[in-house]
Chain A
Amino acid sequence: MSDSEIKAMVADSEPPIFEERAFTTPVKLSEATVAVVSSASLHHAAQEDFAPADVGYRVLKNGNRDYQIGHWSPNFDVLGFATDMNTVIPLDRLDELESQGIVGKVSDIHLSYAGNQFDLSAIRMDSGPAGARLLKEKGVDIVLFTPV
């Protein structure tokens, strides 16, 4: 197994074109509510698993960290997440930064999408904006995206 070969394989997917690059000036990190959005198809054990080519997202409760990975792609290492959630969704680290006053607050919810997408249009036009609206309504100021 070669990580570099896997990366080379996925590198050639057609990138979406953004004619305008949005840029939001962040609030101060020490006053910000921070959420994580992962593409690892994470979900709670009791939640609906991801389907093949699932373009939706799952809401992850910060207070219940029983997340499981639901990827259909075999092209990633599983043991990092299996042994330490923070390898993919670093909530224990964010808790520590919050307790030190470096981060204002860890969000009550986080999101996960499925990263193994061939057509990004639905995520770009539909479930992506919906997820952003939800986090905005929940007072999230900053999102850390973690790819899997």
Chain B
Amino acid sequence: MSTLAHVFEAAGIATIALGSVRKQIESVAPPRGLLCDFPMGRPLGKPADAEFQHRVLKHAFALLESEGPVLEEFSEVVDCDAAEVLTCPMPPRNNEDVHPVIDEIRGLRPAYDRGIEKFGNRAATGRTLGVDDLESAIESLIRVAEGTPWKQAGIPGIPSRVTQDIRGYYETAALGLSDHIPSAWSGTNWFLDESEAGKLVLAARAAMKESGEKRPIWFYMVPGDR
């Protein structure tokens, strides 16, 4: 973003670049930059908080008063490292004849549908996999976790995109289960740490890494700090 700010400014458009990574915005030094210590993915800081978003915009637009390049820091921090642990209940086992992940996915479908009904599908779950295709994707990941090379396991697309759709399904289900907007990353943590599907994705990723697959194939299946 800060790079584009230089380009747009050179074209005669005044710019303000928000940035959440201090080292990046300081090193690229956009003409007008506002460092906001907010979670990755939330550049305006807080969803459904119009007053907070207006405070960010007020500071950002105030940078237009500067007569030269300027980098300032927004005074409020949105810290999510010590934020909530999402405690959405997982569905109980319903059908002992199917794999626990398949059972879990089926059990979460009503919550997913409620999440979509409530907020729509802005996270674009289903870009590679339709919701009804999740089970076959899970079966392919089970095979990968058990040692089948991923190209032979029948993963229905690029692994990172497939796992993002699975993550999206669970995080949307979390919206259907929660009575509030979860703090940043809490939906992802809930998926990876609490769900059977999250554990499967991590196991499949670990198996791919262990078998010597190229790093870009497995690394982006989950956020990079995992």
Q: Which residues does A use to contact B, with CB under 8 Å?
A: 1-7, 9-13, 15-16, 18, 21-27, 29, 32, 37-40, 49, 52, 67-70, 72-88, 90, 92-94, 96-97, 102-103, 113, 115, 120, 123-124, 128-129, 131-133, 135-136, 140-148
Contacts and interface: CB of A to CB of B under 8 A. Distances in A.
A25 B141 CA distance: 54
Contact of B18 (A52, A82, A147): A147
A145 B1 contact: yes
A143 B15 contact: yes
Q: Contact residue range for chain B?
A: 35 or more
27 contacts: A3-B80, A6-B224, A6-B225, A15-B24, A21-B29, A22-B31, A24-B13, A27-B14, A67-B122, A77-B41, A77-B188, A78-B41, A78-B171, A79-B186, A80-B42, A83-B48, A84-B181, A87-B45, A87-B47, A93-B53, A129-B11, A132-B13, A140-B13, A142-B16, A144-B16, A145-B30, A147-B20
A15 B11 CA distance: 21
B40 A93 contact: no
A125 to B, nearest CB: 9
Given A24-B13, A82-B119, A9 B29 contact: no
A6 B85 CA distance: 18
Interface string B9-41: 111111111111111100111110000000111
B220 A147 contact: no
A27 B30 CA distance: 18
Interface in B69-88: 69, 79-81
B156 interface: no
Contact of A76 (B5, B40, B158): B40
Given A13-B24, A86-B50, A80 B13 contact: no
Interface stretch (B92-100, B159-167, B206-214): B159-167
A7 B57 contact: no
Contacts of A115: 1
B175 A87 contact: no
Contacts of A32: 14
Contacts of A25: 14
Contacts of B105: none
A15 B23 CA distance: 9
Contact of A82 (B172, B192, B226): B172
Contacts of B45: 87
